[in-house]
Amino acid sequence: MRPHFLFLLSQPHLHSMENNILIHWKDLHQHWIQNYTSGIDTSLVHFLEPSQLFAPNGLGIGLPLLQCIDKTTKEHSILISLPTASQLGEYIGDRLKMITPVIPSHLYHQRADYDVTVVTIGDKARYMKMGKQVGAANKRQRKLADAQDDWRRASDLVQDRRYVFVSLDIEAFEADHSILLEIGWTLYDSRHDTYMDQHYMIDTYRHLRNGKYVDDQRMNFGFGTSVWCTLPQALGELYKDLDWATCRDGGFVLVGHGLNSDLLYLKQCQFLWPTTDNSSNYNGGVLDVQESAMVTIVNTDTLYGAYIGDLHNPPSLGRCLGLMEIEHWNLHNAGNDAHYTMELMMKLVDKALC
């Protein structure tokens, strides 16, 4: 009967010192295949395929692989201990009637550099699941690293004191999201460390009120005077402020919490974003914000995820404000939400500077 690793690892020739040396499973495969196969003999390639190695009664059944996290880079990977890899090489040499594959020292890694979880492979499905877990973990880690880069960049932009930051919020009618009830925005002029808040209510829809699913706070703007106007008038005022920032600084920084929905609303309204060369001409703007004079987008939900080291299920604006101990009132008023989003960004930027 073919032996498997639950049997092989009971053999007495293992050394504890060698157990402290690990090899990346992928690197081991690559080295062996590159150095012990030819165009004629591909038996080793076939042998190492998961469908063969972890077939029922295959050698790989019981193989102890190590699901590891690099303590420095936080990268997830699958490794194998040197004694286990050596045993695998010995068995391959015997089984395939070939020179025993060896493991060069340049593939060695120290166990102390990793957080290690031993996973005993019982079948191909368990091996494939392990690979998916490692891939998903690395994807999350890359996203977190990107978010932390965004956090640092937002901090640098505030410190540079060059641009106007524009936080934006739109309140739609809860029964029909194509109907916009309010638009609010806050300008933070980093050059002069000053704020300006705007809140516009669309008079075409005075008769429509939220309240069943979303709080109706339309009349409770806390940072200035609300203005009743048409939607084109409100959008025109937004354009003027963005264009002023663009003409003065060559661009603007857009800020939002869950900003994608607000950008979609504006696109549906055919809002034109200013560019660096349209000379205050609204008709010369562009529909795509990415083609406008926008320097970058700062998503406060992403910044908060970078701050806590977890991007999964980002909290709502209100929840983030509470967790960051920012006093707030009457959320779901577009002007208030824009203002508090800017406060949240500034608080998170302060955390990045610590």
pLDDT above 80 for 8? no
In percent, the amount of the chain with pLDDT more than 90 equals 82
Residue 63 lies in a domain: yes
Note down the domain range covering 277. Answer: 146-353
Give the tens place of pLDDT for each residue, 209-256: 999 999 999 999 999 999 999 999 999 999 999 999 999 999 999 999
pLDDT above 60 for 170? yes
Q: Is the separation of the CB atoms in 217 and 328 below 8 Å?
A: no
Residue indicated by tokens 């980093």: 190
Give the tens place of pLDDT for each residue, 34-92: 998 876 677 899 889 999 999 988 888 999 999 999 999 999 999 999 999 999 999 88
pLDDT at 218: 97
Give the tens place of pLDDT for each residue, 137-160: 999 999 999 999 999 999 999 999
Residues 118 and 252 in one domain: no
Residue 127 lies in a domain: no
Of 108 and 98, the one with more pLDDT: 108
Q: Is the separation of the CB atoms in 134 and 78 below 8 Å?
A: yes
In percent, the amount of the chain with pLDDT more than 70 equals 92
Q: Is the separation of the CB atoms in 24 and 78 below 8 Å?
A: yes
Residue 141 lies in a domain: no
Residues 227 and 287 in one domain: yes
Residues 10 and 99 in one domain: yes
Residues 118 and 150 in one domain: no
CATH number at residue 237: 3.30.420.10
Residue 133 lies in a domain: no
Residues 99 and 234 in one domain: no
Given CA atoms 12, 15, 19, 23 in this order, what sign does their dihedral have?
negative
Residues 164 and 296 in one domain: yes
Residues 182 and 331 in one domain: yes
Residues 107 and 154 in one domain: no
Residue 211 lies in a domain: yes
Q: Kindly report the pTM of this predicted structure.
A: 0.81
Give the tens place of pLDDT for each residue, 270-290: 999 999 885 556 667 899 999
Residues 199 and 162 in one domain: yes
Split into its structural domains, the chain has a count of 2
